[in-house]
Amino acid sequence: MITTLILIASFASAQTAGPTAAMLKERYMSSLEDAEKTKALEVLAKTAPASGQDVAALFDLFSRDQNAVVRQAVMDSLALISRGSPQLEPLFVSYLKQPEPEAQLFGVNGAFRLRSREALPLVRDIAKRRFAAAHVNDTAVLTERNAWWAQYEALSVLAQWEGEKALPLIGKKADESPEVARLLGRFFWRQTLPEMRKWTESKDPKIQRKAIAAARASIEPADARATRDAMMALIRDPKVDEELRHQLALKVGVSSDDAEAETLVEEHDKAADTPTRLLWAAAAFASRSRKVVPLLVRYAKQSSDEQWRASSKIQLLDMLGEAQTKTLLEDAKKP
């Protein structure tokens, strides 16, 4: 009786379990309708590979189809791998050892999810290679583009895997390829921010681009809070590169609470020149605080720049809805 119940439970579990990554890959490949393909990719992106068959299917799809949406679905699936899947480690090590950059790129991401100790030296070897081009768009051959991305991903993985131990290598590689500085900004913001002004003042265009790439990186809220005063000081300094000030203004705005958003509006109102006022406006609007609504209304109605008028109105609509926005803008017309 007990055996029968176990069999019934196992059958029911199998019936209710979702499709495997391998099944979804086959469903995508065999579908003739775009809607079916899209649905298969959506489910695949939410399905963790649980077997060697699943991993092999994902790699086959990744290497066969260069479409960015397809590859992102594969990477999203890889990101769901359970750490407790040591049986999958040899597969990713084997991909890292292959000469094709597509295999290495796939292997880097899988090995990172498993934190495979055997794979770590192989990831380092990929990260240490000299970049063939300063930017991925400077490469015309697909294989070279994939090699660029494999190395970039290897550096990104090391930043997350090894922390500050990887910082010297990433800094060195950012000198070869300014885009790598995004990793400096993303994972080492507190160490990198003090260098950015100096980089923008360099006579080397590559070093200048490195500063802006780092400044454009998404950063953790804790890093923004910890460096808020330093960013504010750079924004206030008219001698600092304008694009750097703009990127910092956005970060300050996003990390601001209501009281701090009011301070940004005050900074805007006391600014002595138009470029600086616009920087503080960008910071204030990035906060999305209700405290900046009056400033948004002023820009939507009074700005001499059509783009600022339009973007301010769009943000008002997004924050307040059509009815309230209409009322505010109509009230602004009244004497």
**pLDDT tens column, 180-232:** 999 999 999 999 999 999 999 999 999 999 999 999 999 999 999 999 999 99
Give the chain's residues under pLDDT 50. 1-16
pLDDT recorded at residue 17 = 62
Residue 278 lies in a domain: yes
The conformation of residue 255, written as its DSSP 8-state character, comes to T
Contact present, 224 and 251 (Cβ < 8 Å): yes
Number of domains in the chain: 1
Contact present, 196 and 244 (Cβ < 8 Å): yes
Residue 51 lies in a domain: no
pLDDT recorded at residue 66 = 82
Determine the length of the chain.
Answer: 335
Q: How far is CA 121 from CA 112, 116, 162, 230, in A?
A: 12, 10, 12, 37
Residue 242 lies in a domain: yes
Question: Encoding tokens for residue 219?
Answer: 């950063």
pLDDT recorded at residue 332 = 57
pLDDT recorded at residue 98 = 95
Residue 56 lies in a domain: no
Percent of the chain whose pLDDT exceeds 90? 82
pLDDT recorded at residue 267 = 95
d(CA 288, CA 108): 38
Residue 229 lies in a domain: yes
Contact present, 93 and 116 (Cβ < 8 Å): yes
Residue 268 lies in a domain: yes
Range of the domain at 241: 220-335
d(CA 311, CA 71): 33
Residue 269 lies in a domain: yes
pTM of the model: 0.86
> Any idea of the CA torsion for 220, 226, 230, 235, to the nearest 10 degrees?
40
Residue 325 lies in a domain: yes
